[in-house]
Each structure stands twice: as structure tokens, then as C-alpha cells.
Structure 1
Amino acid sequence: MSEPGAGKGSSQEVGSGKRGRPTVVVAGGGTAGHIEPALALADAVVRLCPDASVVALGTSRGLETRLVPERGYPLELIPPVPMPRKPSADLLRLPLKVRDSVKRTREVLERVGADVVVGFGGYVALPAYLAARGRVPIVVHEANQHAGLANKVGARFARSVAVAVPGTPLPGARVVGIPLRRSITTLDRVALRAEARKYFGLDPEAPTLLVFGGSQGARSINTAVSGAAREFAAAGVGVLHAHGPKNTLVVQEFPGKPAYLPVPYLERMDLAYAAADAVLCRSGAMTVAEVSAVGLPAVFVPLPHGNGEQALNARPAVDAGAALLIEDSALTPATVAERVVPLVADPDRVAKMGAAAVGLGHREADEVLATMVLEAAGVGMT
């Protein structure tokens, strides 16, 4: 795809030129899988270069309207450019939408004095790449093994390309992992265990399973895990289950047994990880990276839609002995009772899997990527 009205020039045409005080623009809107790595990168940039400014690009449709301001960064909204999955009238209108979004994005880059643009894929990244091309250095980060369209385009003219896993087919890619929040990469689960259990009202001693299905929950996970509540209680296993803010979950109580605690959403994910002995969840790239970084044994249930990306994300952990994989279609209360309950109730197996998980993480990914970004902006790093 060609850039509407592409211009040529050096990176200094738009950037401020203040080498010690760079302005970094991050484009990672839409889903948490794009936004959270962008914000972790932003935190690392400011940590390594306190004089740096970070501005986030997003649209009014995405989670960034909540997540970015909460983290203290300015958010600039641009028109979204969603790619139609099937031939339609929207496809015919796509060139005009791209041109409008690129124009608006270029105005933002000029106004904030961008020295580098960092894209994390998705429909915010594509106009950012096209607006920056030939004007501002570009750094691309791809979290999945199969790169999305936006990052395939951006990588063609990027200064640097970073990927989360080996084998991602982008030119000149460097494997760095996924940038994660410091509250995750520095988490001491053992030290926080008692506080975390008290925070959620969980049994202080019982083996505990953490369950979640993404920010909106997952119906199949909710049904299967809650359907095994009796088996969890009989085995003396507690459950902390985030079912999603738009879902409800009614679970039978068993007096005298560890609590099965349903909650709509987990505001303190760090404490949720600290409270748990194992986790059952989807296997998005960000989730797999976090679970591995904190050393939690996992039961991954890949999203059944898409191109099989989530199963690929889970494979290294499964191969290393740090996780089990259960297909969504096979996840039933009986399967949970047979495969998940015995795992959580076995402390030796939990310890062995947790040790295997720790070795998979890239805890330094945020600062490695931040160094690449600052160097692209012309800031020398020692």
C-alpha cells in the first residue's frame, strides 16, 4: 500500500532535534495486547531518559481512552482504519479512510515534535507508519509469530524491527520479547502472597487457581471452570475467577472449604498473580509473556477463532513443561476436574512447572526496546 502524498526528507523534518529531550510517539491502540506493551515501553523510555516525552496515538473506539490517561500519558486521537475481513463497501472506502487518517496523524506528529514513532500493530499503527515514512524514524514491535498487516507494512521502511519470538518473518527482526509492566517483571509472588490472599479474601493457605479469559471474560472458560466447583472444593483448592464485567457467574458455595471467588474484573493483576499457585487462561501473546515472567504454571485454552496464533503462543511453555494446553472445544467441567484440579492440588508438580516457566520470560524486554527507540531518536545510550 502506498502512502498518500508521501514526502521525502530526514528524520529532522518533523522531530524537535533536541537530542537529549526526545519526543516518542507510541501507536498501539485498540486492544490491551497492543496498548500494554506500548505503555510498558513508555515507562521504560522515561526511566532511561527522564527528559523524554511520550505521546500515545489511539482512537475513540479502543481501550486506550481509559488505559493511557490512567498511566499519565497524553493521548492523541486519530480516525481508525479497520481492515475489512471480507469484500464490502467498506473496502472500497478504505483508501479515503487511510488518506484521512494519515493526514490527521501527520498533523499530530508535527504538532508534538515527534523524534521517533513506535508501532505495535493494529489499526492505529498503520496510519502512524504511513504518516512517519520519510519524515520520522520508525521502530516496529511485533508480539505474534505471524505478523499483522500493519507491521508488515511498517517493517519495510522501519529503522529497527523488534519481535517477541524467534521465527517471525519480518526483515531485520531482533528478538527482544514483549515489554511488560515493572509491577509484573519485579513481582515477588512469595513476598506478596499473604497480602494478596487477604486483598481478595482468599484462604491464606489453600492451593489456589487464578482464572481469567481476557478483559471481557470468556464464556467457555466461565462455564467449564465454574462447573467443576464441587471438585475444587473436595480437593481443598480455592479459585479466583475473573468472569468479565458483562458476564455473571453464580457458583455453589461449600461451607468449610476454600472459597471459589468470582469477580468481574481484576484491577490488581500483580496481586492476582501473587495470590495464585497456577492459572487457567487464554494464550494471547501478552498473557503468555506475563505468566511466564512471574513463574506461574499455566493451563492455556487458546481462543478458537483466528489463525491459530494463540496455540502458537502457548507452544514454547507447553514444550518446556511449564504449561498444559486444552483446546476450547475440549474444555468441559469434566476435563477441568480430571486435568486441572489434580495439577493445582499437587505442590511438587506446581513447583516444577513454575521453575520451567521462569526460564521462558524476557523480563528486560522493556528496556531493551526502549534503548532501540532512543537510539532511533538520536539519543546516545551508554
Structure 2
Amino acid sequence: MTTELSVILAGGGTAGHVSPLLAIGDALRAAAPGVEITALGTADGLEARLVPAAGYRLETINKVPFPRRPNAAMFSFPFKFKAAIDQAKAILTEAKADAVVGVGGYVCTPVYLAANKLGIPVFIHEANARAGLANKLGARKAAGIGVAYASSGLAGARVVGMPMRKSIAAMDTAALRPAARAALGLDEHTPVLVVTGGSSGAASINRAVSASLPAIAEAGVQVLHITGAGKGITDASGALLAGAGYRQVEYVDGMQNAYAAADLIVARSGAGTVCELAVAGVPSVLVPLPIGNGEQKLNAADLVGAGGAVLIDDAGFTPEYFATEVLPLLANAPALAAMSAAARAQGRNDAAEAMAAMVLEGTKQQSTGRHPKMGS
């Protein structure tokens, strides 16, 4: 008889949650080949596509956002939330879960509470410089907490960095550049600017860049504009906007190609993006999301302070700024080289392995023999 480990990976909604989730799963499989992993998310999050594509089984529960202001939803919330907890309990019980690993998002709160009720240890990774509500709640009874930033505010947390998949954590951007540019339809020798607002896109960034096609043509550079799924930009005739040196796509499957191809990137400062830019050593212009609790500006602070990135407020990212600041920076090879070195010095690429070790050691201490499984 052997005891295999059953781990639930909880989280989702955006690539910022799903990517570290999958990275931790990969690291767990590498460290403990017999581990049974089930991902738990919602049916309408990005995990519904990315998790099965990565080879993991996905179970879903209902998405129940917490009402942040008085409205009709607040009256039905307690009943829907209890139902989500019950759904999570059923999944954890069916999987004979030995541990839950959560990365935040709507799905995590009911999963954390369900795990607490069942006596299953919870391990948390917080990606942002300021922790979200779900992880703040889960951290109160967590068996272990890893964070990307020391400023997260979670007591007892250990700074491990951002879990990322090997395709990015171990990438050599210089070696990959020719193939990456070819894969993205870009010329190997012309400077490349990649613009991305993340998996959901960024309307304000999209507007500023799409209004700058004459400046792009005049600069003689290439701009790969990743607009976000369902957010392709059209001209007056309804055709996809196009111009000299300008190419748009809604999504890039495998951001390692975008990082390897880019001389400079314009992006939101989601925690995953900031940490990946550092590991890849890509200079960047960061435009924090102007809503939320200000975590994106905090996420960018260390990279900007080190000289690896430039920060501009969302309202300040205009066509004029793009033409007078971003495009000239793309042409300044010495400045980009210095930014690249500064960014790479901030990078940490072993967070997924650190989280896997935390889970395996913590689960061994707390739940050995709790769910023995028959084996050879």
C-alpha cells in the first residue's frame, strides 16, 4: 500500500491567476510524479480553456462575487455563497483532497472555507503587492503562504516570487528571438514593440496605439498590438485596422514568444506580467490599471525603481506620449540594454518549485495517512 497525494488547485478568472496555478501544478508533478491534481475554477473564467489545454482536470463551482455596494444581489448572496461552499466541499470530498493550493480570485473564498470545514490544509500564493480579499481571508488559517511581494500584508508569508511555467522561467530571450519573430510574422532585424493589455485587453491602451499608426510608420519600427480577446480594432469600413509596421492580433498563445520577440513592451502592470518581464529581461513601459485597490502601481514599483521599466499613469498614456516617449525609447539601444539588465536583476524564476516544496512538506506534516489510497 502506498499513499498518493491528492491536491486541489483553486483559482482562475484571468491569466494572472491561471498561469501561476498551472506553474505550481507542473512543479508538483515534477517533484512528486504520483500526485493527483484537480483544478477548481468557474465555467466562465479563462481557466475553462487553459486548464484542460494544459492537461489538468477541471472541476467548476458557481461564481459568486461579493456585493461591494448595496444592491439586489446582496439579498441572494448568502444563499448562493453557501451553495458554492457546498459545491466545493463535494468536489474536495470526491477527490479525497489532501491539500488545497489557492491563488486568489472569486472561486477561492468558498474553496478555502470548504477546506477549513473538512480539515484540509490550505496553502496560498498571493501574486499582488497588495493581497486580494479571498487570500486575506484564507491566510487566517493557512498552513503555508508564499508571496511575490513582501508588501502583500499577509502575516507569516514567505517571499518566493511569482510561479511561472518553465517556458518563461527558463527562457533565453536572445536565443529564442529569431524563431519567435518568425512565429509572430515579424521581421528579424527591425525593432519590435509589443503592446498588450493582458488577456482581457486594455481599452485605453488600445485607443492610444490605434490612433498612432502614422507615427509608427514614420518611425520605421514594428508594433505587434495584442488587443485582447474579442477586442480587435476596425477602421471606418469595418476591416481590421492595419498600417505600415503595425500588426494586431487578439491573443498570443505562449507569451514567451512575445517576450523573446520584443525590444520593448507596453503593458498593464499585473503581478504576473511584471515578474515575467523581469525574468525575461524585457524593458517595459508599464501602464497600471486605474481601478481596483491600486495594486498594479505597487506591483510595478520595484521594477521601475531598479530602472527596468518606465511608469506612466493610464490617463497619461496618450497618442502624444506614445509618439514622443515610447517610439523614441524603442530606437535607443543603449537605454534598452541598460533597462534589460536592470529588469533581469530583479527576476526570480524558482517560485513554482518553492511553492511545490511548501505544499509537499506541509502536507506531509499535517495529513500523512489521512486519505490512504491503494497502490502497488
Task: Please give the secondary structure, in 2, of the residue aligned with 1:61.
Answer: coil
Shift of 1:323: 0.5
Q: Is 2:342 the partner of 1:356?
A: yes
In structure 1, which of residues 219, 243, 253 is the aligned counterpart of residue 243 of structure 2? 253
Counterpart for residue 335 of structure 1? 321
Q: Deviations over 1:256-304 (max 9, x none)?
A: xxx2211121113111111111100111111111111100000001111
Counterpart for residue 66 of structure 2? 83
Counterpart for residue 270 of structure 1? 256
**CA contact under 8 A between 2:129 and 2:271: conserved in structure 1?**
no
Shift of 1:209: 0.5
Task: Please give the secondary structure, in 1, of the residue aligned with 2:364.
Answer: coil
CA distance in 1, matches of 2:113, 2:203: 38
Question: How is 1:100-139 mapped onto 2 (pairs within 5 angstroms)?
Answer: 100-133=83-116, 135-139=119-123
Counterpart for residue 374 of structure 2? none
Question: How is 1:1-382 mapped onto 2 (pairs within 5 angstroms)?
Answer: 19=3, 21-133=4-116, 135-249=119-233, 250=235, 251=241, 253-254=243-244, 259-378=245-364
CA distance in 1, matches of 2:303, 2:151: 16
Aligned residue identity for 1:308: G
Shift of 1:319: 0.5
- Answer with 275-284 or 91-100: which moved more: 91-100
Shift of 1:191: 0.9
Between the aligned residues of both structures, percent identity stands at 48
Structure 1's 75 and 246: CA in aligned 2 closer, same or farther, altered over 3 A?
same
Structure 2-normalised TM-score? 0.92
CA distance in 2, matches of 1:44, 1:183: 13
Shift of 1:34: 1.4
Task: Please give the secondary structure, in 2, of the residue aligned with 1:359.
Answer: helix
CA distance in 2, matches of 1:197, 1:78: 40
- Answer with 151-160 or 77-86: which moved more: 77-86
Aligned residue identity for 1:48: A
CA distance in 1, matches of 2:346, 2:18: 22
Shift of 1:345: 0.6
CA distance in 1, matches of 2:151, 2:290: 23
Q: CA RMSD in A?
A: 1.7
**CA contact under 8 A between 1:22 and 1:379: conserved in structure 2?**
no
Aligned residue identity for 1:236: G
CA distance in 1, matches of 2:231, 2:99: 41
Aligned residue identity for 1:154: G
Aligned residue identity for 2:56: Y
- Where does structure 1 differ by over 4 angstroms across 4 or more consecutive aligned residues? none
Q: Deviations over 1:332-372 (max 9, x none)?
A: 11101111011111111111000000111220000001100
Shift of 1:111: 0.8
CA distance in 1, matches of 2:44, 2:66: 14
Counterpart for residue 8 of structure 1? none
Aligned residue identity for 2:157: A
Q: Deviations over 1:223-242 (max 9, x none)?
A: 21232233333333211111
**CA contact under 8 A between 1:187 and 1:270: conserved in structure 2?**
yes
**CA contact under 8 A between 1:25 and 1:114: conserved in structure 2?**
yes
CA distance in 1, matches of 2:279, 2:113: 34
CA distance in 1, matches of 2:131, 2:224: 33
- Answer with 81-90 or 241-250: which moved more: 241-250
Aligned residue identity for 1:292: A
Task: Please give the secondary structure, in 2, of the residue aligned with 1:133.
Answer: helix
Shift of 1:81: 2.3
Task: Please give the secondary structure, in 2, of the residue aligned with 1:183.
Answer: helix
Counterpart for residue 14 of structure 1? none
Task: Please give the secondary structure, in 2, of the residue aligned with 1:378.
Answer: helix
**CA contact under 8 A between 1:187 and 1:294: conserved in structure 2?**
yes
Aligned residue identity for 2:193: L
**CA contact under 8 A between 1:179 and 1:366: conserved in structure 2?**
yes
Aligned residue identity for 1:129: Y
- Unaligned runs of 5+ residues in structure 2 are 236-240, 367-376
CA distance in 1, matches of 2:339, 2:25: 32
Task: Please give the secondary structure, in 1, of the residue aligned with 2:346.
Answer: coil
**CA contact under 8 A between 2:283 and 2:308: conserved in structure 1?**
yes
- Answer with 176-185 or 213-222: which moved more: 213-222
Shift of 1:18: 5.2
Shift of 1:80: 2.0
Task: Please give the secondary structure, in 2, of the residue aligned with 1:377.
Answer: helix
Structure 1's 371 and 219: CA in aligned 2 closer, same or farther, altered over 3 A?
same
The count of residues paired between Structure 1 and Structure 2 equals 359
Task: Please give the secondary structure, in 2, of the residue aligned with 1:299.
Answer: strand
CA distance in 2, matches of 1:226, 1:81: 36
Task: Please give the secondary structure, in 1, of the residue aligned with 2:269.
Answer: coil
Shift of 1:379: 7.6
**CA contact under 8 A between 1:236 and 1:345: conserved in structure 2?**
no
